[in-house]
Amino acid sequence: MNDPCASTSYPVDATNQVRRRHERGFYDYSTVHALLDAAALCHVAYVIDGQPFCTPTLFWREGSRLYWHGSSASRMLRNLAQGEPACLTVTHFDALILARSGYNHSADYRSVMVFGKARLVEDPEEKENALVRMVDRLFPNRTAALRPATAQEIRATSVITMDIERASAKIRARGVVDEDEDYELPIYAERIPVTQVLGEPEPCPRLLNGVERPESLAIYRSTRLLQEVLTEALLADGNVQD
């Protein structure tokens, strides 16, 4: 899966090569895209005058391109409009690991770091399409049922895009791993799973009489794993690109 020469993988260089625990690194489209598509929240790192910023935001993927959004007033977006280097990271936190030594305490996780140059979406057609996908990627076909966007709203929303130039996934899914000799010790060790789940949806208290929940939202139901629902939503929207 790590062959950087295969056309199904992102290229590897000094920027994205996983160095520490390199056996945890993956660069293939399939692994990288699946981890991105199972998330709605990312953190974007960017630089202004030498000062790094780490900003949480909602994002989505189209092929080898990422999109995220915010107000035109945002400091981040102003800075990235010119094609600035950025790093977008998604982390799925899967478990806390209690080992028999402090050194082997750890976490199970799946993360992706994506590197590229972020830029403001200025083409009107690309922007209009992005504003639809921003909603429909989460909630299939929802835009068609909404009050249409006004010109003012479209102006007030900025969309940022970044082609994936480099990417690396890093996965630890090993549970408790101790030194061979430590298994002989009378010390308790365990894996504590962590999941991100949906709660019971809360209808707006001001819904008009007779307005029902659309069938397309049925995938969003209590106790389901967020990562599974987000992946399904993208497939249901019929627009997913490998």
Positions in 21-40 near a copy of itself (CB under 8 A): 21, 40
Q: Closer CB to a copy of itself, residue 7 or residue 71? A: 71
Inter-axis angle of helices 226-236 and 29-37, nearest 10: 100
Conformational region of residue 49, where left means phi above 0, alpha means psi within -120 to 50, and beta covers everything else? left
In angstroms, give the least distance from the CB of 235 to a copy of itself.
18
List the one residue from 32, 36, 44, 160 that touches a copy of itself (CB under 8 A). Answer: 44
Q: How many angstroms separate the CA atoms of 186 and 191, rounded? A: 17
List the one residue from 34, 81, 120, 198 that touches a copy of itself (CB under 8 A). Answer: 198
73 binds a copy of itself (CB under 8 A): yes
Residue type, 118: A
147 binds a copy of itself (CB under 8 A): yes
List the one residue from 5, 7, 19, 23 that touches a copy of itself (CB under 8 A). Answer: 19
In angstroms, give the least distance from the CB of 7 to a copy of itself.
25
Q: How many angstroms separate the CA atoms of 97 and 18, rounded? A: 21
Q: Among residue numbers 100 through 119, which ones bind a copy of itself (CB under 8 A)?
A: 100-103, 105, 107, 109, 111, 113, 115
Q: Is the distance from CB of 230 to CB of 138 less than 8 angstroms?
A: yes
Q: Closer CB to a copy of itself, residue 2 or residue 43? A: 43
Nearest Cα neighbor of 187 from 106, 105, 114 is: 105
215 binds a copy of itself (CB under 8 A): no
Nearest Cα neighbor of 166 from 17, 8, 6, 1 is: 17
For the stretch 196-202, contacts whose Cβ atoms lie closer than 8 Å and that sit 24 or more positions apart, written own/partner, are 196/92, 196/225, 196/226, 196/227, 197/223, 197/224, 197/225, 197/226, 198/222, 198/223, 198/224, 198/225, 198/226, 198/229
Nearest Cα neighbor of 88 from 126, 52, 46 is: 46
In angstroms, give the least distance from the CB of 143 to a copy of itself.
6
Q: Closer CB to a copy of itself, residue 2 or residue 89? A: 89
Enter the DSSP assignment of 208.
P
List the one residue from 81, 138, 236, 240 that touches a copy of itself (CB under 8 A). Answer: 138
Q: How many angstroms separate the CA atoms of 229 and 43, rounded? A: 20
In angstroms, give the least distance from the CB of 122 to a copy of itself.
19
In angstroms, give the least distance from the CB of 9 to a copy of itself.
20
86 binds a copy of itself (CB under 8 A): yes
Of 2-10, 24-32, 60-68, 141-149, which part binds a copy of itself (CB under 8 A)?
A: 141-149
50 binds a copy of itself (CB under 8 A): yes
